């Protein structure tokens, strides 16, 4: 079974389980992969129908969706190349003369179809690294190789392929739809395709009901979604997003991250996606790889070795007791260290203690657990350590 | 609204650059405003009374405040346009672009700014079109002749009928004349006394000599301009070579007393005012027309002379009639009928002038109109009677008649002035270069940023101060400023153009943007500077080899050769440069910072 067939079956399953919202989003992903305008138009029609009758699910609409899925299944897809690294940075260093901050040396390989989470505390060089990779900033030493499906004609062409979205995006003026159309028109797309492609992207990113609003009428989350729509219309091979989750509520964060993961995993147009964020848990959830920067340094081999060697259990928790009480409860397990950082307790266990054992022990105690999380393989352990 | 939306969407999907620059809408709006201004201009002089006041240069250019209004409309339109233009910037978002697209953006800016800043030209074209239609050359020439043929009978200024004005028949047509009141200023030769002054008719000759001539000073003292004066200064006409001069000398004084009438008479009148086009008088390049004017004058004088000799009362009356019809057509005020006028001028015999008609109405018009019926000769000018007594002429009378000849003449002068196209041409070039300058600044802003443009402006100011200091130091050190300052500017300009190209990573992107903006804005002045330097060298070479009047010997500097076309040449150069430099702009944009 090919990858596209697997995805189509997944969508069918979502429909069967009546997860219509998720099913429809995934259906749109599959439709987008076809790059077929007839399919796009049908998908747009279904989106419009759904937005008109949002409260109820019409069986006829579901049937039409499944029919569209059948049509999509008949279209052969050519999978994009995900083997080669789009960006291969080697021993990159950047030193700021005035502040003395130094980034690197850092070596990274960014591949299409993968999501890279760039995490680290403020001032550790996340934005600097993103800007270096996007050729926005000079680096002092090292080397970057860019490999795109079509070699860029000149430096400007290369920059136009390196889509970088800064943390503070600029205000849009005029009609949102016109802004999106302007992108495709500049890319020289067929005029008759432009409207369809724009509406398809609007549909996919859940912007259908917002497409006729003005920029100032949008919330931060929708502004970011429109920014993503504008970027994705460019059909980038690599996207570098600086703090795309900043100022978004938790629901909006999850929605955007989920969309990014699916879109970057497109079969025909896989995207290499790097995003920096402070939202460790959310980013880790969707990332294929996490790049943790500390004091401007990142050594992925060291980090991986550390991950392999330190498979000890680390638990972060918030309980309604003091340190002594908690220490006493956990002392039955091989507790190596218990620290309190002012908000949460961090418990490290020396022997192969499992998370379920910890839960069991705490469950049997009288302590009230407010929050608990296993951060043994999360980069959060580096932050709280 | 739907129609506008459809057009907008069509442009957006097919021609994003045109959509983004709002080219179509701006040109359509500009076209509408141009039509309004043209119409305004067309109707400005719809009534001849609007031509009665003399229109000086500024009035012609300003057109009853039309220019200020046009400037206000231009500013509003361009500001609104900028608001829309600045909404999207494909280049700053790294959307794919090409050298051609960047150039076209610049070209669209240029076209839009030009179209929106030349409304006053449409106003000018409007009134010129009207003038050409209302006063076509053939009709206007006929009107000139009508006025010129009636001019001897207008009796406006008694001195117009003095002997000194006589230019017909021969030999008066070729002789030069001067009147003197002091005997010591007389030329050696006969003179005729008329009205307390002596009039002499004479011919002249030209002597070519050099300043090195031993008789030079004496020749100057004997020349016509400094006749027998001790404090003579070096002459006169253009030199053929550095040290060669042409001196105009008196040739012969003639005795024409047997042909002359010393009284004020119609035979003596020879004013050619209405035969001249004011533009041709003021433009020295059309000196060649003067013999033509002389021929026309002789023709009219001959007709008048023969009319008077024949004592052709009907002919005279016909001239007066034609004039009054023309005056009515031009809405010229008067309080004299053709018959009353005819009675004043028809003095068969010597056709002496003994009555004067006023050339303007009284400030108190009512007085004139009330007494118009009885406005026959009433006032006797005692002084004039005494003055003419010596010439044994009849009593000359002031009348209360008037023909508003000031307005009449203004109509002719104004039509000539308005018909002239050279101001429109100047305006065209100025407008093009204003548009080019603004489009360059706008391009610089769109490619780089406001900060870079401001830095470039500051840098330009500092360079200006530097050049001024250099010029001051050069002046103090007696250096040849004609060359030293242009060459200093040339070196500065070359440095601005070349340094960013060879600096590599050694110069920040921001600093490079300042250099680039200076290049975009100052490339055309730089080209003009090079032409100026070449021209200055040619000028120096030609003077050394052929003398200061080398142009008379068909030697031309490059600026002489290009003439007004230098503007077009520079425009073409500027456009071609922007086209090629667009690649450099792309290259700069792709640079990393830091």
Chain A residues touching B90 at Cβ < 8 A: 182, 186
Q: How far is CA B68 from CA A374, B59, B71, in A?
A: 76, 12, 5
pLDDT number for residue B18: 92
Quick one: angle between helices B99-116 and B422-447, nearest 10? Answer: 140
Query: Which residues in chain B have their CB less than 8 angstroms from residue A186's CB?
Result: 16, 90, 95-97
CA angle, B329 then B333 then B339, to 5° = 85
From CA A181, how far away is CA B326, in angstroms rounded?
66
Q: Do B286 and B165 fall within a single domain?
A: yes
The pairing of beta strand A335-340 with beta strand A345-349: antiparallel
Domain count along chain B: 2
DSSP string, A325-364: HHHHHHTTS-EEEEEE-SS-EEEEESS---HHHHHHHHHH
Residues B407 and B475 in one domain: no
Determine the 3-state secondary structure of B448 from DSSP.
Answer: coil
B145 and B261 in a common domain: yes
CB contact (8 A) between residue A185 and residue B12: yes
Report how far apart, in Å, the C-alpha atoms of B109 and of each of B17, B264, B515, B526 are. Answer: 11, 67, 22, 22
Residues of A in contact with B590 (CB under 8 A): 135, 154-156, 158-159
Q: Is residue B235 part of a domain?
A: no
Structure tokens at B318: 């016909």
The DSSP letter of residue A216 is G
The Cα angle at residue B581 between residues B578 and B582, in degrees rounded to 5? 85
Cα B204 off chain centre by: 32
Q: Which residues of A touch B (CB under 8 A)?
A: 94, 135-138, 154-160, 163, 173-174, 178-179, 181-183, 185-188, 191, 194-195, 234
Tokens of B285: 């390049």
Of B416, B440, B467, which marks where a domain is finished? B416
Interchain contact B587–A (C-beta under 8 A): yes
ipTM of the complex: 0.81
B372 and B511 housed in the same domain = no
From B507, which residue of chain A is nearest by alpha-carbon distance?
A138
Contact at CB, A186 and B594, closer than 8 angstroms: no
- Going from the C-alpha of B362 to that of each of A338, B42, B390, B401, the distances in angstroms are 114, 32, 32, 10
Residue A301 has what pLDDT? 53
- Centre a 10 Å sphere on the Cβ of residue A91 and count the other Cβ atoms it contains: 12
| B105 located within any domain | no
From the list B8, B95, B594, which residue is nearest A186 (CB)? B95
Nearest to A156 among B12, B19, B590 (CB): B590
Confidence of residue A98 (pLDDT cuts 50, 70, 90): confident
Quick one: B165 and B314 in the same domain? yes
Output the pLDDT for position A382: 67
In chain B, % helix, strand, coil (3-state, to 5) comes to: 65, 10, 25
Q: Which of B332, B334, B354, B333 has its CA nearest to residue B343?
A: B354
Residue of A143, A185, A197 best to disrupt the B interface, most CBs of B under 10 A: A185
Considering the domain architecture, whether residues B411 and B509 belong to the same structural domain is answered as no
Q: How far is B457 from chain A (nearest CA, A)?
A: 26
Residue B327 lies in a domain: yes
Could you tell me if residue B8 is inside a domain?
no
Interchain CB distance below 8 Å, B95 and A187: yes
* Nearest-neighbour CA in chain B from A31: distance (Å): 23
pLDDT at A168 over 60: yes
Q: Which of A163, A169, A186 to mutate to test the interface with B (most CBs of B within 10 A)?
A: A186
Does the residue B475 lie in any domain? yes
User: Which residues in chain A are contacts of B20 at CB distance < 8 A?
Assistant: 182
- pLDDT at position A311 is 66
Distance CA B523, CA B581 (A): 11
Residues B409 and B466 in one domain: no
Across-strand partners of A294?
Answer: A297
- Residue among B88, B591, B592 minimizing CB distance to A182: B88
Mutate to test the interface with A, among B4, B7, B11, B96 (most CBs of A within 10 A): B96
Which of B394, B416, B438 marks a domain boundary? B416
Q: With an 8 Å Cβ cutoff, are B87 and A174 in contact? A: yes
Within 10 angstroms of residue B566's Cβ, the number of other Cβ atoms is 19
pLDDT score for B52: 87
Contact B82, B408 (CB under 8 A): no
B144 with B286, same domain: the answer is yes
Decide: A123 and A280 in contact? Cβ < 8 Å.
no
CA B382 to chain centre: 45
- Kindly state whether residues B387 and B305 are assigned to the same domain: yes
Lowest mean pLDDT among A172-181, A242-251, B124-133, B139-148: A242-251
> What is the rounded distance in angstroms from the CA atom of residue B226 to the CA atom of residue A333?
129
- The reply to whether B97 touches chain A by the CB within 8 Å rule is yes
Of the partner residues B16, B586, B593, the one whose CB lies closest to the CB of residue A137: B593
Determine the straight-line distance between the first and last CA of chain A, rounded to whole angstroms.
45
| Average confidence (pLDDT) per 10 residues, chain B, 594 residues | 87 92 94 95 90 74 78 94 83 85 94 94 90 88 88 88 87 86 80 85 84 77 70 50 73 87 88 68 48 78 90 92 93 90 85 84 51 42 48 58 89 83 80 95 92 94 92 79 86 89 80 92 93 90 81 83 90 95 91 82
Q: What is the pLDDT of residues A354-368, one digit of tens each?
A: 888 888 888 888 788
Q: Is B291 on the interface with A (CB under 8 A)?
A: no
Which of A137, A158, A234 lies closest to B594 in CB terms?
A: A137
Residue among B87, B97, B594 minimizing CB distance to A138: B594
Q: CA B30 to CA B426: how far, in whole Å?
A: 21
Helices (H), B45-65: 57-62
Please tell me if residue B586 touches chain A, with a CB cutoff of 8 Å.
yes
Helix (H) or strand (E) holding B416: helix B405-419
Q: Are B374 and B475 within one domain?
A: no
Q: Would you call B508 an interface residue with chain A, using a CB distance cutoff of 8 Å? A: no
For the whole model, what pTM was predicted?
A: 0.80
- Regarding whether B170 and B289 lie in a shared domain, the answer is yes
Backbone angles phi, psi at B181, to 5 degrees: -110, -25
Determine the Cα–Cα distance for residues B303 and B251; give it in Å rounded to an integer: 31
**Interface with chain B: mutation pick from A92, A99, A156, highest number of B CBs within 10 Å:** A156
Q: Is residue B186 part of a domain?
A: no
DSSP A10-68: HHHHHHHTT-HHHHHHHHHHHHHHHT-HHHHHHHHHHHHHHHHT-SS--HHHHHHHHHH
Whether B96 and A188 lie within 8 Å, measured CB to CB: yes
Q: Is residue B27 part of a domain?
A: no
User: Which of B14, B16, B589 is nearest residue A182 as measured by Cβ atoms?
Assistant: B16
Which candidate from B93, B590, B594 shows the least CB-CB separation from A155? B590
Q: What is the pLDDT of residue A77?
A: 83
* Start-to-end Cα distance in chain B: 48
Tell me: cis bond preceding B171? Omega within 30 of 0 counts. yes
CB contact under 8 A, A157 and B96: yes
Note down the domain range covering B336: 138-175+256-416
Chain B contact set for A194 (CB, 8 A): 13
Contacts of B424 (CB under 8 A, 6+ apart): B121, B124, B125, B128
Q: How many CA atoms lie within 13 A of B103 on its CB side?
A: 15
Q: Which of A229-233, A301-305, B582-586 has the lowest mean pLDDT?
A: A301-305
Residue B489 and residue B393 share a domain = no
Residue B388 resides in a domain: yes
């Amino acid at each position: 079974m090919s990858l596209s067939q697997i995805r189509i079956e997944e969508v069918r399953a979502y429909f069967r389980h009546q997860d219509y919202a998720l099913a429809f989003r995934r259906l749109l992903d599959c439709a987008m992969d076809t790059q077929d305008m007839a399919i796009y138009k049908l998908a747009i029609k279904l989106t419009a129908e759904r937005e008109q009758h949002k409260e109820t699910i019409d069986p006829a609409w579901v049937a039409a969706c499944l029919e569209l899925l059948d049509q999509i299944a008949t279209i052969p897809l050519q999978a994009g190349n995900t083997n080669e690294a789009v960006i291969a940075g080697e021993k990159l260093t950047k030193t700021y003369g005035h502040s003395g901050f130094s980034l690197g040396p850092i070596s990274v390989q960014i591949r299409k179809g993968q999501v890279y989470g760039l995490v680290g505390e403020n001032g550790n060089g996340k934005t600097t690294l993103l800007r270096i990779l996007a050729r926005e900033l000079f680096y002092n030493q090292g080397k970057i190789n860019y490999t795109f499906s079509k070699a860029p004609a000149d430096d400007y062409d290369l920059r136009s392929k390196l889509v970088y979205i800064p943390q503070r995006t600029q205000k849009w003026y005029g009609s949102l739809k016109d802004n999106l159309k302007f992108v495709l028109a500049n890319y020289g797309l067929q005029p008759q395709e432009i409207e369809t492609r724009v509406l398809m992207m609007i549909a996919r990113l859940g912007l259908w009901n917002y497409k006729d609003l003005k920029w100032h009428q949008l919330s931060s989350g929708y502004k970011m979604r429109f920014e993503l729509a504008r970027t994705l219309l460019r059909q980038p091979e690599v996207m570098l997003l600086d703090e795309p989750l900043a100022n978004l509520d938790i629901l909006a964060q999850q929605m955007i991250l989920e969309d990014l993961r699916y879109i970057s995993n497109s079969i025909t147009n896989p995207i290499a996606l790097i995003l920096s964020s402070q939202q460790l848990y959310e980013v880790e959830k969707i990332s294929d790889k996490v790049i943790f920067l500390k004091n401007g340094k990142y050594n992925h081999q060291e980090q991986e070795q550390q991950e392999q060697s330190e498979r000890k259990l680390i638990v972060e928790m918030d309980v309604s007791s003091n340190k002594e009480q908690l220490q006493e409860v956990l002392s039955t397990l091989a507790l190596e260290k218990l620290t309190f950082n002012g908000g949460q307790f961090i418990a490290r266990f020396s022997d192969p203690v499992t998370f379920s054992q910890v839960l069991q022990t705490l469950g049997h105690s009288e302590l009230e657990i407010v929050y608990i999380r296993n951060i043994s393989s999360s980069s959060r352990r580096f932050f709280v350590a | 609204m739907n129609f506008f939306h459809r057009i907008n969407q069509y442009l957006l999907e097919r021609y994003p650059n045109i959509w983004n620059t709002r080219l179509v809408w701006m040109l359509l709006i500009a076209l509408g405003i141009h039509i309004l201004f043209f119409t305004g201009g067309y109707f400005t002089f719809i009534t001849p009374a609007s031509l009665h006041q003399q229109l000086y240069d500024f009035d012609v250019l300003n057109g009853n405040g039309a220019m200020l209004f046009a400037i206000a409309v231009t500013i509003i339109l361009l500001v609104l346009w900028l608001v829309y233009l600045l909404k999207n910037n494909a280049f700053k978002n790294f959307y794919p672009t090409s050298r051609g697209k960047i150039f076209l953006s610049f070209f669209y800016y240029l076209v839009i700014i030009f179209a929106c800043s030349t409304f006053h030209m449409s106003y000018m074209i409007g009134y010129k079109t009207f003038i050409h239609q209302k006063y076509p050359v053939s009709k206007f020439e006929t009107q000139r002749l009508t006025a010129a043929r009636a001019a001897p009978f207008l009796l406006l200024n008694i001195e117009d009928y003095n002997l000194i004005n006589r230019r017909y028949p021969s030999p008066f047509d070729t002789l030069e004349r001067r009147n003197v009141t002091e005997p010591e200023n007389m030329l050696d030769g006969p003179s005729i006394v008329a009205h307390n002054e002596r009039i002499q008719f004479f011919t002249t000759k030209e002597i070519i000599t050099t300043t090195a001539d031993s008789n030079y000073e004496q020749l100057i003292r004997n020349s016509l301009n400094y006749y027998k004066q001790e404090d003579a200064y070096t002459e006169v006409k253009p030199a053929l070579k550095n040290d060669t001069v042409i001196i105009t000398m008196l040739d012969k004084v003639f005795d024409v007393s047997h042909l002359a009438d010393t009284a004020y008479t119609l035979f003596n009148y020879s004013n050619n005012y209405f035969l001249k086009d004011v533009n041709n008088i003021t433009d020295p390049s059309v000196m060649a027309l003067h013999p033509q004017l002389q021929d026309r004058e002789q023709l009219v004088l001959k007709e008048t002379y023969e009319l008077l000799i024949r004592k052709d009362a009907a002919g005279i009356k016909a001239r007066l009639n034609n004039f009054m019809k023309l005056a009515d057509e031009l809405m010229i005020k008067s309080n004299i009928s053709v018959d009353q006028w005819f009675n004043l001028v028809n003095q068969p015999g010597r056709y002496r002038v003994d009555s004067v008609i006023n050339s303007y109405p009284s400030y108190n018009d009512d007085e004139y109109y009330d007494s118009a019926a009885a406005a026959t000769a009433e006032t006797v000018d005692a002084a004039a009677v005494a003055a003419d007594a010596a010439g044994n002429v009849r009593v000359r009378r002031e009348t209360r008649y008037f023909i508003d000849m000031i307005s009449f003449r203004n109509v002719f002068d104004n039509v000539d002035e308005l018909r002239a196209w050279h101001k429109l041409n100047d305006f065209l070039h100025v407008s093009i270069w204003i548009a080019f300058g603004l489009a360059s600044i706008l391009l610089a802003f769109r490619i780089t940023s406001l900060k870079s443009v401001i830095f470039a402006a500051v840098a330009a100011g500092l360079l200006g101060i530097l050049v001024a200091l250099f010029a001051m130091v050069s002046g103090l050190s007696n250096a040849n400023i004609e060359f030293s300052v242009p060459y200093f500017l040339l070196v500065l300009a070359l440095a601005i153009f070349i340094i960013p190209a060879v600096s590599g990573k050694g110069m920040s992107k921001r600093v490079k943007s300042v250099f680039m903006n200076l290049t975009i804005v100052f490339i055309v002045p730089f080209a003009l500077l090079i032409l100026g330097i070449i021209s200055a060298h040619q000028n120096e070479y030609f003077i050394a080899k052929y003398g200061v009047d080398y142009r008379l010997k068909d030697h031309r500097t490059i600026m002489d050769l290009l003439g007004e076309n230098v503007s077009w040449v520079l425009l073409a150069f500027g456009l071609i440069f922007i086209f090629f430099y667009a690649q450099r702009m792309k290259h700069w944009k792709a640079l990393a910072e830091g």
